[in-house]
């Protein structure tokens, strides 16, 4: 009986509509550590997974690493690919990347726990963004400007 290999697909579309597959594995983790200087199991600094969730530039660099073989095969540079993965495309890539990283864990309970942690952090981030938008909208810019001008005049 022939064994069939089953793999999950972790893909996203860039701003041009091109579909990219996130490629994680030992080479990915090693490249992130060597190129970006951050490991996934670090105990002395913020681990890479947390940085992916909180630092959009770092997330984008990790997406570049995860997709590099694909876009280089199309003759694209890191910068050319990076321009296509901003805004909503970067958010889609972040989900695909974090899902792929979580699925790399060897035990089903670990994978489930990691997925839950990632989703909770993403929910918290969304809640904080809404709160920030509400607080920013409440700022009376004219009043603030007047107060700054009065303060500058002494």
Domain extent listing, the chain: 7-104, 105-154
Maximum mean pLDDT: which of 30-44, 86-100, 131-145: 86-100
DSSP 3-state percent helix, strand, coil across the chain (nearest 5): 65, 5, 30
pTM: 0.79
Residue 123 confidence (pLDDT) above 80: yes
- Exposure on the CB side of residue 140, measured as CA atoms within 13 A: 6
Q: Tell me how far apart the alpha carbons of residues 137 and 89 are, in angstroms, rounded to a whole number.
A: 26
Helix (H) / strand (E) element for 12: namely: strand 11-13
How many CA atoms lie within 13 Å of 11's alpha carbon, on the beta-carbon side? 10
Q: Which two tokens stand for residue 112?
A: 């489930």
Of 6 and 49, the one with more pLDDT:
49
Those residues whose C-beta lies under 8 Å from the C-beta of residue 80, and which sit 6 or more positions away, are 71
β-partners of residue 78 are: none
């Amino acid at each position: 009986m022939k064994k069939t290999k089953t793999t999950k697909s972790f893909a996203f579309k860039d701003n041009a509509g091109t579909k990219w597959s996130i490629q994680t594995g030992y080479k990915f983790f090693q490249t992130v550590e060597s190129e970006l200087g951050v490991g996934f199991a670090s105990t002395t600094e913020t681990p890479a997974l947390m940085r992916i969730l909180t630092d959009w530039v770092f997330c984008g660099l990790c997406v570049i690493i995860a997709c590099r073989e694909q876009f280089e095969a199309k003759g694209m540079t890191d910068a050319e690919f990076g321009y296509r993965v901003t805004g909503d495309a970067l958010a889609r890539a972040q989900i695909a990347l974090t899902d792929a990283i979580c699925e790399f864990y060897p035990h089903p309970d670990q994978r489930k726990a990691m997925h839950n942690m990632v989703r909770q952090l993403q929910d918290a981030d969304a809640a904080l963004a809404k709160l920030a938008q509400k607080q920013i909208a409440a700022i009376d810019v004219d009043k603030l400007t007047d107060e700054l001008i009065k303060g500058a005049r002494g």
